[in-house]
Structure 1
């Protein structure tokens, strides 16, 4: 006789080996830094309300940081005419344009479920992830257009010292914002927030690339500035593709490699579980929902079945700290 048991938050953490399979070689470290890892949850927050509030604070903090950096760069772009700095500035503005919808999505996701939306509104966060990708793609296209124009019709650069200073300040500011966003996104399991952090990190790298454009101008190679703009656009597109993979996967109810294995292992570890017949999980925003069907001995009594189901529920929360709700189906066999 099946029994459904919605899970309650559990505070034990039990990270399996799958959480630590990272390449520690130099190239592997770089790939890990530039690629979103939504399964990194070593500092996961377990309460949905707390996670949403943390995400909103992180978004406001990054909005202020990116805004200050963008304002400074806009002034210097107007003074210098640097295409590489313009590329970096446009990317920053793209982040500003997408941070407000992300904040709104976090707030919408906190609304209670309704009869029309029985699973709530948490998926609004992933929809904003698509918007983030669209806006960043537009900024990359504009950067390519302006850079090609600058190659065909070279423009004289002025105030190179200011451009250099803006690049250094932009790199430092963007990296601070990137670290905060990525840490917050991984902590609460938000693919959209992690993607925003990865884009900010790209801004930090591209701000450093502007220095090359300044060096080219000093060496009498003004077109190098526009070429760096094209390189920046290519890096943006690369990171965009990798970021959107996670967002689209979640919209398609996909999970990270090893997630179901952790669910099955956790359920099997509970005494009294004969077998695990089915395991499912999906992301709703930055929260996971899971479902598992277990078989217990046919002679088990009602009290024993309830106790086993409770232990399975607790084990699932230990294995998946972002888990918000779990359903345990029990079969006798």
Structure 2
């Protein structure tokens, strides 16, 4: 049987993931459209409220993940070149880092701004407006606008979370997390404005501080995840919750081959897909042929679409990093 050498370094996604990707693109454009309306509406009614200001800035920052995702997906399917031999899937990780830094920086600024308001005991003024000849407290408009911005982010976040898992897309996951922050921010703003109406001057700054801490925490989480992925940490699930099971499945498959005594793999996350280096120790007296190595490689690729390509390295002893002799001792020493 001829080995499928065209599978090495493949860049295309399977049909199911392609459909998911197209849906994700549509959802992200819909998110941008919604945010454009929300940013305009909140900007028109925010007045001097710190909570509304924080919510408005948070909506502006919410544009970063969708734009980062849309830019990344334009690059991921480009064919690998001599300059970029691993392809362009890692543009997803770069976009993830950019979104995380933006969230972290603005979260820090807003915390400073909110704490300053509390320490200086600022009393944010909320005036009145005349609508159809009737005088109306602006706070009612603020709370009404923020209430209208709650339902769609809840739906967007739910859909994006499902698509992020389907595509193993951490930018999409970060965006889903951001949508959760969006509706929580809107709810916090309503509480802050209502507090002003009840005479609690500090409620507005306190709500702004709550929103700011949420933004900062989103930034910290996403920066940490993006940086560790770019540093070739062990591949994890899309939510960084646990090591990705593909590594164990590859090792189990290789150990099941007649000529393999032991196997261990290093798996790096390239974005949507993985690059794998598998070390195999042949059984005593057995020397794998080229065809056996190619068949083993193709078998590993067939385990999961995320295994973009794999390098098999016959070796006499497994390195410690993939479970070789001395690995337990090294693990204890690193604790």
Q: Deviations over 1:217-275 (max 9, x none)?
A: 2321022111110111112212221222221111011122433333322332x342533
Contact 1:9 1:46 in 2 (8 A): no
Rounded to whole Å, the distance in 2 between the matches of 1:301 and 1:209 is 63
| Alpha-carbon distance, 1:62 to partner | 2.3
Q: Deviations over 1:31-66 (max 9, x none)?
A: xxxxxxxxxxxxxx7469826545533432322232
Rounded to whole Å, the distance in 2 between the matches of 1:155 and 1:331 is 70
SS state at 1:139 partner: helix
1:325 alignment counterpart: 309
1:137 alignment counterpart: 104
C-alpha spacing 1:194/1:301, structure 2 compared with 1 (3 Å) = closer
C-alpha spacing 1:316/1:113, structure 2 compared with 1 (3 Å) = closer
Does residue 104 in structure 1 map to residue 104 in structure 2? no
Per chain length, whose mean CA-contact separation is higher, i.e. which structure has more relative contact order (CA < 8 Å, sep 6+)?
A: 1
Does residue 286 in structure 1 map to residue 255 in structure 2? no
Gaps of 5+ in 1: 11-44
Rounded to whole Å, the distance in 2 between the matches of 1:330 and 1:58 is 45
RMSD: 3.2
2:299 alignment counterpart: 314
Contact 2:259 2:288 in 1 (8 A): no
SS state at 2:269 partner: strand
Contact 2:282 2:316 in 1 (8 A): yes
Gaps of 5+ in 2: 128-137, 237-241, 318-335
| Alpha-carbon distance, 1:315 to partner | 4.7
Contact 1:293 1:331 in 2 (8 A): yes
2:322 alignment counterpart: none
C-alpha spacing 1:309/1:113, structure 2 compared with 1 (3 Å) = closer
Contact 1:66 1:174 in 2 (8 A): no
1:89 alignment counterpart: 56
Rounded to whole Å, the distance in 2 between the matches of 1:75 and 1:69 is 10
Rounded to whole Å, the distance in 2 between the matches of 1:9 and 1:121 is 11
C-alpha spacing 1:116/1:300, structure 2 compared with 1 (3 Å) = closer
1:70 alignment counterpart: 39
Q: How many residue pairs get matched?
A: 291
| Alpha-carbon distance, 1:68 to partner | 2.6
Contact 2:65 2:171 in 1 (8 A): no
Contact 1:48 1:287 in 2 (8 A): no
Does residue 174 in structure 1 map to residue 153 in structure 2? yes
> Paired residue for 2:251, among 264, 268, 273?
264
> Paired residue for 2:29, among 60, 70, 93?
60
SS state at 1:186 partner: helix
SS state at 1:108 partner: coil
Taking structure 2 as the reference length, what is the TM-score of the superposition? Answer: 0.75
| Alpha-carbon distance, 1:169 to partner | 1.8
Q: Deviations over 1:4-28 (max 9, x none)?
A: 9775799xxxxxxxxxxxxxxxxxx
SS state at 1:103 partner: helix
Rounded to whole Å, the distance in 2 between the matches of 1:201 and 1:165 is 19
1:235 alignment counterpart: 214
| Alpha-carbon distance, 1:74 to partner | 1.8
SS state at 1:147 partner: helix
| Alpha-carbon distance, 1:113 to partner | 1.6
C-alpha spacing 1:316/1:149, structure 2 compared with 1 (3 Å) = same
